[in-house]
Amino acid sequence: MSKATSVLFDAPGPRARLRNNALTLLSVALLLLIAYLVISTLGERDQLDAAKWEPFLRGDTWTGFIIPGLIGTLQAALVAAVFALIFGVLFGLGRLSDHTVIRRFCGAVVEFFRAIPLLILIYFVQAGPATLSGYTVSVPAFWAVVIGLTLYNGSVLAEIFRAGILAVPRGQSEAAYSIGLRKSEVMRLVLVPQATTAMMPAIVSQMVVLLKDTALGWIIAYEDLLNVGLKQFAVNYGNLIPSAIVLALFYVVINLALGYLATWLERRSRRSRKSAAGPIAPPSAIGTGGTGGPGRGAVATME
């Protein structure tokens, strides 16, 4: 066991290791039993027949159903993610404003949209304007999904940004103010680069939630992967369970790709000079000045 792990908890003894192994074996056996029951039940219901899986081997299935639905999902997720990040940054920084009016307004907006279920937001964005105005023109399904995702996930991201900035040690901002930087410069040059590394896992987790929430567009008939795969493709071929399994695999692959992207971004940001502190000269070098005198050592330390 590594030293980093032993700091977090005590190393298990012989009896604890035996108990952990027994519980692991029991859990694996239970999972295998559940998998067997699920597969056997699907076989009894003829859901594993080759005829129900054969449509996924045809090209027209992919060009007519799956690929258009996948494009619709990715388009809504990408546009909503960009807008949600902008919304989160603006309102997250607004909640840290020194002006009481701005701070309270941003806080009210964030708490309001966080408290409303996303499904209601999407439905209201599309049907609300027409109902309130009396006109029959409604918001297109794509923009209804995007606006709903932006308002809800942007409010959550605003709290993530606010918490990430507040998590940076206070001495960082105090040191920046002491050398004459303005608040905007402190935020842009000191706090945000350091907070980004800490916020990255939470931001990507929320992006995964946003991607999965695009499936809620089915209530307004948005042509996404879930709508096309389950409400159109499965109805035509009578293979609801195989279609659900294939669609679930698509979501798993996309979300795993987002996870790997988050890991790469986090490692890259930790290596960046903007988010990682440089080496500090030892006190002896400051006192003696090394080979260049005390003045040169002090300047090097300040740099």
Cα separation, 193 vs 270, in Å, equals 10
Q: Per-residue confidence at 290, pLDDT binned at 50, 70, 90?
A: very low
CA distances from 252 to 28, 220, 230 (A): 22, 24, 17
Q: How do residues 185-217 score in pLDDT, each as one tens digit?
A: 888 788 888 887 778 888 888 998 999 899 888
How far is CA 134 from each of CA 3, 57, 78, 127, 130, rounded to the nearest angstrom?
68, 48, 32, 11, 6
Residues 142-184 pLDDT 10s: 999 999 999 999 999 999 999 888 888 888 888 888 888 887 7
Structure tokens at 280: 């500090």
Distance CA 249, CA 175 (A): 49
Show the domains of the chain with their CATH numbers.
72-223 (1.10.3720.10)
Query: Is the model's pLDDT at 283 over the cut of 50?
Result: no
Determine how many CB atoms are found less than 10 A away from the CB of residue 201: 15
